[in-house]
Amino acid sequence: MPSPSLMEICSRSFTSIHNQIQRSVHQIIHSYTKTEVETSPYLSSIQSLTGSTPGKKLKSLNSIIRKLAENARTRGDLTTAINDFQGVSPAMLAFIRVAVAVALELKLDGPILEGLKSPSTRVVKRALKADWFFAGSNVRVNAEYFVENVMPFVSLRTRSGVIRKLAIGLKGYPVKAEAFFDRFAELYGTQASLPILNACSEAFIYDRILRHKIVLPLKSVHALYERCPELVIRYLQLGNPRNENNAEDRKVLEIRINDYDTFLPKLVRKHPVVFAQLFELTPEKGLNLSSIRTSIFLKSSKNVLVEKPRVFLKILSLKVVSKSLKKEEFDRMYENLFPRDMSEVNVKELLGFAEYYPHGDKLELLRNTYEKVYGKDLLNNEAFTAEPKLWKLLPVREREIVARRCFEVNQENKSDCLFYLPPRESLPLLREEIASANEAEERFEFIGQMIDSCSLYESKRDLLDVLTYYYERHRNERDLYILFEKLEEGFDLKSLDDEHWFVVQKIIDHAHARGELFRSHVSLIKSVLEAVLYHLLVVRREQDDDETFVNKLFELVVKCNFEKSLPTWNILKERPDVEKSCLEQFLQMIPECYPATHDFWSDKDNRLYVVLSLVKSVHSYNSRLKGNQTSNRIKIEDYPWLTKMTDEFFSRACGPSFRKSLLLHLLRVEAPDFFYAKIDECSTILDIDDLGEALRLLKHDPNRILSSWPDYLTEARDKLCSENKKRERRAARMFISASRWCHELPTKFVERCLLEIEEKGSIQVLGLLLEGEVFEKLVAPYLPREASETEDRHFKRSFKTSRAIALVARYPEPPVSLSFASTLTRSHECSPEIGGTVDSLSRCYPVKDVLGLAEELLGGRSVAARKFGVRLLFQCLRRDRQTSFAEMLCKTETNSSVAELIAEKILEMFSKSPSEDNWNLVKDCINRLNTKSRLLEKFADLEKINVDPRFLGRYVEAYLDKVESLYLEDSYSQVRTKCVSLVIMSLNLKSTDRLDEEVSSKILNRYFLDAHSLEISQAAQSFAVGSYLLSSTKEKFQARLKVITDILKKVAERLDASHPKKPRFYPSNYTLTNFYSNALTEIAARRPNESLEMVDKMLEVFDGELSPWQVPTAYLEYNLYKEYLLAENSKDFGTRCRKRITGLIEDLSGSDVMIKDVAKCLDSFLTEGKIYPEAIRHELRQNLIDGLLEGDDHYGLLVAMLLVRSDEVDDYDDRYDAMVKKIGVKKNKPLQYFLYKHLNGIQLNSL
C-alpha cells in the first residue's frame, strides 16, 4: 500500500480540525439555545397554560381572566387582585390586565390607556373592545381629551383603530362627532378621520365633503345610505353632469358614478327614478336586478324602460318585464330595441328579447316591428333568414316558400343553402353533392347539412333516414365527431326514439371496433354516450336485451375517461339514483378494465389523476345529498382497489403537489376513519398549503403533528422561503403562528431552528414564534455592525444574507424595538425590503417614539437611511407641524436625492392641506427644479397632484415659467414638450373656471402656435375649444370667444411662414386647418345654442386676415355647417346648400373642380353625425339629396349624384328611382359620368 502524500495528510488534518471546531460550536449554540428558550417569557407563559391544543390553552387563559375579574369585583381593586393571583405570568400581565378591565366594565381609563399604548397587537385589540371608553355617552369622550391624552401616545395602527371605534361610539351624538372630525381632520388628515364622518349630521357631512373634496369609499356610501339616504343621493348626483341643480357643487367636486356601480341597485327599492338617472351614466356595467327589484323599478320607471330599453332591459328580469308591460308598451319597447341602421340588426338577440312575449306570436311581433321600422319584410333579407331560431318559428308552408326563394336567388352558391329546403327535397340533392365530392371534409359538411335540414323542419323520421344512410354508406369516414356535433346541436338527444338509438349504437360499435371512437373531440363523444345511457337506463329502463350493450357503454366511458384524462365521472346528474348506480358501476368496472398490472398504472401522474377524479366525483355526488338521503352515500372504503391505490400518496416519498393535497383533503372529508388510520400507519405529514389540512390538524389534534414535528418544520421552512408563491408563504406563516399555542411544539421548533440557523426558513420560524425582545437577543450577534461588513467573506459563508433577519424582524409579536430598527438601517444597505420592515415597525409604536427614530435616521450618513427618516417624519407628524419641519428640511438638506424626496412629500402635503404657507414651500420647490430632476414631470401631472382651485392659476404659471427658463436655450427639448403638454392636457380635463382668466389667456397666447413643438400646439388648441371656450359660463363666453378669434387672427398673419428646421412644413397653415376641423367637431357635439355665434366668429377671420382659398377646407366646412344651423329641416338644409354652393365655388376656385370637395364635406357631416345625429342615416341622405335636386341647378345635381352610395341603394325609397330617371335624361357629361360610375358599382348581393 503506497504511503499517503503530504497533501492527503494535510487534508485529513484539516478535516479533523474542522469537525472538532464544528462540534464545539454546535455544543455552545445548543446550550445557548436552551437558555434562550427557557427565558422566552411569552412561550413559557403559553406552555404553562393547561391543555394540549390551542383551543384548550385559550380556554384556560379565559378562565384565568374570569377568576381575576371575580376577585377584582370582590375586592374593588384591579391591581391588588392581579398582584395577589398566583397563576399570572409576567409576560401575559399587560394582556390580562387589559382583558380583565374590559371584562369588568368598571370604566377604568388607566388599564385601557395602557393597553392602547402597547406595541403588542393582541393587547391593543383587547383594549379596543372596551366600548364604553369610546362611547358618546362617556363624559370624557371629547376631541380635546383624545388629542391630548390618547393620540400622541398610541401608534399609527392603533390610531386608526381608535378612530374606527369612535365612529361607532359617537353614533347618536352628532355634535360630538362633528367636533371630533374637524379636530382630527386638522391634525391627522381628512382620509384618516373619514370613519367619524358617518356619525355626523347630514348637513355637516355634505358641507365637509365639498370643503375637503372627499370622495367617499364604497363602504361608506353603503353605511350612510341606511341612515341618510337623501344625503347619499345628493352625493351621487355630483357624478351626474345632466343635473343642473348642483352645477355649482360639481365645480367644486365631481365624482365618478362608475366607482359606485355595485351600490346603485340598492336605490331601486326606494329611489327607482334616481337609479334610472344614475345607471344611464354607466350603462356598460354588468348589473342584474332580481325579480322583486325589477317589479319595483317598473312601478315608477316603466316609461324610461320603454323609451330606452337598450340601457335598462339587460339588467332587468325579462320574464317580469314581459308580464308587467301592456301590449302597446311592450310593442313600443320592442320597436326601440331595433337599431337605426338595418345592417346592425341581430335577429337572434331580438328573438331573445321576445322570449316571454305574452300578447301573441313572437314571430309576428318581430316581422311587424321590422317592417314598421325599416319598411321591408324581414323574410326578404337573406342575412336574417340564416338564423335557425327564426326558421323554426315560421309555419312549415312559409318556411318552404322562403327556402325555395333563397335557393333560387343563390344559384351561384346553391350548395350553401340546400339544407333550408324541406328534407324531402334537400336530402336527395345533398346525396348528389356527397356523391360528387372528392374530399372527406366536403362529404361531412354535406352530411352535417342533412342533419341541419332535419333539425330545421323537426323531422325525426328524416333524421332516421340520414343516420341509416350514414351507417350504410359513410361509416368508415374518419370525422365522426361532425355527425355527433350536428346531432347534439339540432336535437335533444334524450328525446330520440328507439330506432334512432339502434342505428347510433351500430355507429358507435363500428367506430370503436376501428379504433376511431376517441380519436378527437372526446368530450362530445362522451356526451353522446351519456345520452345513449340515459335512453337505455331511464327511458327503456334497461330491458333484458340492453344489458350487454349497456355494459359495453360503461366500458367505453371508462376507456374514454382513462385514455383522454377527462376529469369527471358524474353523469346523468338530473337523476341522482341513476347517477349513483352509474358511479358505482364505474368503480366496479375499472379494476376489470384496468387491472393493477395494466401499463396505464405504471405512470404516477396517471394514478394520481384518475384516483383524484374518482374521489372528487364521489364527493360531488355525496355533497348534493340532503336530509334523509345521506343513507345513499357512496363509501370509498367499499372499494378496496381504490383505497389501496391511495396508499402511495400518504407516503413521504411522494413529493408535495396541489393534486395530492386535494386528494388527501377529500379523503379526510369522505373517509375520515380510513384517512387518520393511514396517517398513523404511514407516519406521513400533511402538506402545509391553502387547503388548511395541516392547520386544522394542528388545532384539533396537535399530537399527530408533534409525532412528526421535524418533517412539518422542514415543510414549513421550505414554504416560508418559496419565491413567487404568496399563498404558500401565507399558509406556512399561519401554521407556525398557530403552533405557538400548542404543547411542546413551538419549543421544539425554536430549538431546532437555532441549531440550524443557517438553514433557509429558520430565521422566519424564529420571528413568528418569539417575541421581539428575545428575537433581538438571538439575532443581534449575527448582524454586522456596519453595512460595509456585509462584504466580509466569512460573514457571507456563515449567513447567506443577513437581510433575512431584517425582513423577518416585522414578524415577532410583541414587535422588536425601534432601536433594533435603527440597527437594521445602519447594518444593511437600505433596500426597499428593509424599508418595509422599518415602516411596519413604525406603525406599532407610539408616534412620539417613531419621531425620535426619524430624527435619528435623518442625522445618519446613509442617504437611504435619511430617506427613511423623511418618510417616517411626514407619516407621523401632525398636519399643523408638518409645514415647519418641511421648511427646516428644505434649508438643511444638501443631498439632491433626499431633497427631491422632501419636495415630493411637500407636494403631497400641499395637495392634502392647501394653505399659503404650503404654497410658498411648493413654489420654492418649483424654483429648485432643474433639468436633471426626476420631479420635473411629476410636478406637471395636475390630475394626480389635485391642486386646490385657489392656487391652481399661481401653480400653473410658476411651473410653466420655470420650465421655459430651464429650456430657454433648448426649446426643441422633448422634456419641455412633455412637461408643457402634460400641464395643458391636465387642465383640459378640469373646469377652466378654476383657472384665472389672465392665466388661461397667457397659456393660449404662448402655446396656441408653439414654434418648437407641434404637440404643445395641439394640446393648447384642444384646451382652447374643449375646455376654455365650450365649458365656459354664459357670462364668460363672449370674452373668451374674442380671445380665441384674436389669436386666430394673429396666427393668420404668420401664414405661409415655414418651419425654421423643416422648411417644407408650414406651422401656421397646419395649425389653422387642424384647429378649425377639431373645433367644428366639438361645436357639433356640444353647446348647440351658441354654435351659430361661434361659427360666425370663426368665419370673421376670413373677412380680413385670411382669404378663403388659403384655408379652403375650413372655409367650406364652416359655411355649409352654418346653413345647417339655419335650416328648418334636413330637406331645407339640402336646399340651402344648393343655393350656397355657387357662391362657395366662386369664392374658392370659380370652377367645377370644387364639386368633389363639397360632396366630401357633406358626406362627412352625414357619416360622422355632425348633423341631425338622431336621424336614420340613409333617410337623412335622401332628404338632403331631395333639397339639392330642387330647381334643376347644375351644381346641386352634381353634388346630389356624388352623395348617393351604391351600398345603400336597397335602403332608399322611390325617390331614388325618380332621381336616377331625372339625371339619366340630362345631356351633361359630368352628370352622366358620375351617374354611370354609381350604377356600375351596384352589386347584386347588396339588393
pLDDT in tens, 272-307: 889 888 888 876 666 788 899 899 989 888 889 999
- pLDDT band at 553; cut points 50, 70, 90: confident
Q: Is the pLDDT of residue 720 over 70?
A: yes
Of 184-188, 627-631, 875-879, 959-963, least confident by mean pLDDT is 627-631
- Number of C-alpha atoms within 13 angstroms, CB side, residue 730? 7
Closest CA to 172 of 131, 215, 250, 227: 227
**CB under 8 Å to 495, separation ≥6 — which residues?**
none
8 A C-beta contact, residue 354 and residue 366: yes
pLDDT digits (tens, 9 = 90+) for 770-788: 988 888 888 877 776 554 4
Contacts from 1064-1067 at CB under 8 Å and sequence distance 24+?
1067/1009, 1067/1011, 1067/1014, 1067/1017
Distance CA 184, CA 177 (A): 10
Q: Is the pLDDT of residue 233 over 90?
A: yes
Instruction: Name the residue with higher pLDDT: 458 or 520.
Output: 458
Of 28-37, 308-317, 821-830, least confident by mean pLDDT is 28-37
What is the overall mean pLDDT for the chain? Answer: 82
Domain ranges of the chain: 6-38, 573-684, 966-1092, 1107-1247
pLDDT digits (tens, 9 = 90+) for 627-666: 777 778 899 999 999 998 888 888 766 766 788 888 888 9
Q: Mean of the pLDDT values across residues 1169-1185? A: 82
Distance CA 455, CA 504 (A): 17
Distance CA 813, CA 121 (A): 7
Q: Mean of the pLDDT values across residues 189-198? A: 92
pLDDT digits (tens, 9 = 90+) for 300-333: 888 899 998 988 888 899 999 999 999 999 999 9
Residue 846's DSSP bridge partners are 155
Distance CA 555, CA 512 (A): 11
Closest CA to 157 of 857, 841, 820: 841
Write phi, then psi, for 684 (nearest 5 degrees): -90, 170
pLDDT at 6: 38
pLDDT digits (tens, 9 = 90+) for 123-157: 888 889 888 889 999 888 999 999 999 999 999 99
Per mean pLDDT, which of 192-201, 782-791, 1085-1094 is the most reliable?
192-201
pLDDT digits (tens, 9 = 90+) for 910-954: 888 888 999 999 999 999 888 888 888 889 888 888 888 888 889
Q: Is the pLDDT of residue 598 over 60?
A: yes
Q: Mean of the pLDDT values across residues 466-470? A: 92
Q: Among all chains, which residue has been given the C-alpha cell 407621523?
A: 876
Instruction: Name the residue with higher pLDDT: 105 or 1103.
Output: 1103
What residue spans of 631-788 are helical by DSSP H?
Answer: 640-645, 658-670, 672-682, 693-700, 702-707, 709-720, 726-739, 745-755, 762-769, 772-779
Q: Is the pLDDT of residue 35 over 70?
A: no
Q: Is the pLDDT of residue 83 over 80?
A: no
Cell of 320: 317580469
Distance CA 963, CA 804 (A): 45
Q: What is the DSSP string of 182-193?
A: HHHHHHH-HHHH
pLDDT at 690: 66
Distance CA 127, CA 110 (A): 11
Of 391-405, 646-660, 1107-1121, least confident by mean pLDDT is 646-660
Of 14-18, 374-378, 404-408, least confident by mean pLDDT is 14-18
- pLDDT band at 84; cut points 50, 70, 90: low
Q: Is the pLDDT of residue 20 over 50?
A: no
Q: Is the pLDDT of residue 262 over 50?
A: yes
Distance CA 45, CA 40 (A): 9
Looking at residue 50, its amino acid is T
Cell of 968: 430657454
Of 44-53, 63-72, 241-250, 498-507, least confident by mean pLDDT is 63-72
Closest CA to 423 of 441, 409, 403, 442: 403
What pTM does this model have? 0.79
Distance CA 1182, CA 1178 (A): 6
pLDDT at 142: 92
What residue spans of 201-358 are helical by DSSP H?
Answer: 202-212, 218-227, 229-236, 247-252, 272-279, 291-307, 309-312, 318-324, 327-336, 347-353
- pLDDT band at 28; cut points 50, 70, 90: very low
Looking at residue 1231, its amino acid is L
DSSP, collapsed to helix, strand or coil, labels residue 1059 as coil
Distance CA 1230, CA 511 (A): 70
Q: What is the largest CA-CA distance in the chain?
A: 127
Q: Is the pLDDT of residue 818 over 80?
A: yes
Of 561-565, 621-625, 747-751, least confident by mean pLDDT is 561-565
pLDDT at 959: 92
Cell of 1006: 404662448
pLDDT at 130: 86
Distance CA 84, CA 1067 (A): 91
Distance CA 578, CA 698 (A): 40
Instruction: Name the residue with higher pLDDT: 693 or 609.
Output: 609
Residue 155's DSSP bridge partners are 846
- pLDDT band at 7; cut points 50, 70, 90: very low
pLDDT at 410: 65
pLDDT at 795: 47
- pLDDT band at 728; cut points 50, 70, 90: confident
Q: Mean of the pLDDT values across residues 358-375? A: 87
pLDDT at 1: 41
Contacts from 1135-1138 at CB under 8 Å and sequence distance 24+?
1135/1187, 1135/1188, 1135/1190, 1136/1187, 1137/1162, 1137/1184, 1137/1187, 1137/1188, 1137/1196, 1137/1199, 1138/1187, 1138/1188, 1138/1190, 1138/1191, 1138/1193, 1138/1195, 1138/1196, 1138/1199
pLDDT at 617: 92
8 A C-beta contact, residue 449 and residue 432: no
Of 8-12, 73-77, 88-92, least confident by mean pLDDT is 8-12
Distance CA 1140, CA 756 (A): 94
Cα dihedral value 1192, 1198, 1200, 1203, nearest 10: 180
Distance CA 988, CA 1048 (A): 19
Cell of 932: 436633471
**CB under 8 Å to 177, separation ≥6 — which residues?**
136, 166, 167, 170, 171, 196, 199, 200
pLDDT at 182: 94
